[in-house]
Amino acid sequence: MDDQVIFETTLNIAAAERETGIGKDTLRIWERRYGFPLPARNDKGERSYTLEQVERLRYIKQLLDNGARPSQIVTLPLETLKRMLEEQQPHASEVLPPLIAEGMKLIIAQRSQQLEQWLEQQLKQLGIEPFVIELIAPMTATVGHYWLQQRLSIAAEHIFTAQVIQLLNAIIHQHRPRYPSAPKLLLATLPGEQHTLGLLMVETLLVCRGVRALSLGGQVPVEEIVRTAERHQIQSVLLSFSARCSREMVRTNLAALRRQLPQSVAIWAGGAGTQRLKPHPVGVQISHSLADILQLGE
Ligand code: B12
């Protein structure tokens, strides 16, 4: 028996949904309506999707998030989908700003220690706010694009994420207001949203402006946010939704939170997942720019 390891190269429908962000029902409907994706069936008749189909579905999801309709794109070949996304997201192929290109080289090469020194050096040179807003934020988006185009390994993405989390937490720890007073702001992401870098960037900027912020981190149920806000007499709740979150998920949860929180508590929501929320959820401040929240520190 040779000890060759067999890698599973197909995904069942649950894994395909997780990997692409496209729901099981939608996958079945497209199969019937557009003839794509056409999964094979295992001996139990269950659908199994190839990695090629999953990659094509990821591009379709990104284009749908950018406003395209399924009938326009589901039957298109991968190369056409890639070209369309590149036209929509200039980052994909254009020349990166020199500093970001320098950082991306270290990330792609997985030079973790050098990356750590390089990030600390940039922090010293730029100062906290420009470091977060002009370097870390665009670099995070570039890491996402490169990951989608398989120009960056999952390991490299995780090395970058771990470094950024470590460095921003160190800045927060160093700058957290020392005087004992109640936190004013509560930060969290909701269940299903593991992406917390956006939240950490927001917390870093606010704490460095002397704002007392209590961050509950990722995947916090709405009810728990409401209970904690009451307990600490919180003035504002800040939420982050990455591109991973469907508009329905964002809208439903923001409406639920608005219903359950006293009107005196402000709700701010940001992140790529809050873009194109039409109409704007009532009683919620939507902002995609980190610079915007600095006013909360004034
Ligand atoms: C790092 C990362 C991960 C890490 C997260 C680690 C962590 N602790 O955060 C890990 C490895 C866990 C991960 C997992 C996955 N990821 Co991921 N991930 C990313 C990446 C590179 C950055 C994540 C992030 O935090 N973004 C959020 C912030 C930084 O960006 P933003 O939403 O644009 O927000 C900006 C502003 O709006 C503002 N902002 C953000 N929040 C707020 C809040 C307020 C109040 C304000 C004022 C402003 C503000 O600051 C940001 C910077 O300007 C993104 C790429 C990207 N562009 O986001 C992909 C991405 C979000 N991931 C993606 C995917 C598909 C996944 C996985 C499904 C992959 C997988 N197969 O397992 C899983 C899903 C996990 C889950 N259930 O959530 C896709 C989502 C695509 C889609 N449309 O669905 C992206 C977009 C990558 C890509 N280009 O395809 N991921």
- Average pLDDT for 221-245: 94
Q: Which fold has domain 180-297?
A: Rossmann fold (3.40.50)
Backbone angles phi, psi at 135, to 5 degrees: -115, -60
13 Cα–ligand 1 center, Å = 22
Residue extents of the structural domains in the chain? 10-88, 98-174, 180-297
Pick the CATH number of 98-174 from 2.30.40.10, 1.10.3210.10, 1.10.1240.10, 3.30.2350.10: 1.10.1240.10
**What is the rounded CA–CA span in Å between residue 273 and residue 251?**
10
CATH 1.10.1660.10 describes domain 10-88: yes
166 Cα–ligand 1 center, Å = 17
Determine whether the shortest distance from the Cβ of 283 to ligand 1 is under 6 A. no
- Write down the pTM of the prediction: 0.82
Which of 195, 199, 239, 247 gets mutated to test ligand 1 (max ligand atoms within 8 A of its CB)? 195
pLDDT band at 247 (very low <50, low <70, confident <90, very high): confident
Per-residue pLDDT tens digits for 74-85: 999 999 988 887
Residues in the chain: 298
Determine whether the shortest distance from the Cβ of 60 to ligand 1 is under 6 A. no
Of the listed ranges 90-99, 184-193, 240-249, the least confidently predicted one is: 90-99
Per-residue pLDDT tens digits for 140-151: 999 988 887 778
User: Sheet of 285-286: strands edge to edge?
Assistant: 213-215, 185-188, 236-240, 266-270, 285-286
CA distances from 262 to 23, 64, 183, 190, 191 (A): 34, 35, 17, 19, 22
Of the listed ranges 49-53, 135-139, 252-256, the least confidently predicted one is: 49-53
pLDDT at 118: 97
Which of 131, 148, 151, 242 gets mutated to test ligand 1 (max ligand atoms within 8 A of its CB)? 242
- Protein residue closest via CA to atom 19 of ligand 1: 144
CA distances from 154 to 55, 107, 146, 267 (A): 15, 11, 10, 33
| Amino acid identity for residue 125 in this structure | Q
- Protein residue closest via CA to atom 69 of ligand 1: 19
- Average pLDDT for 108-123: 96
pLDDT band at 10 (very low <50, low <70, confident <90, very high): confident
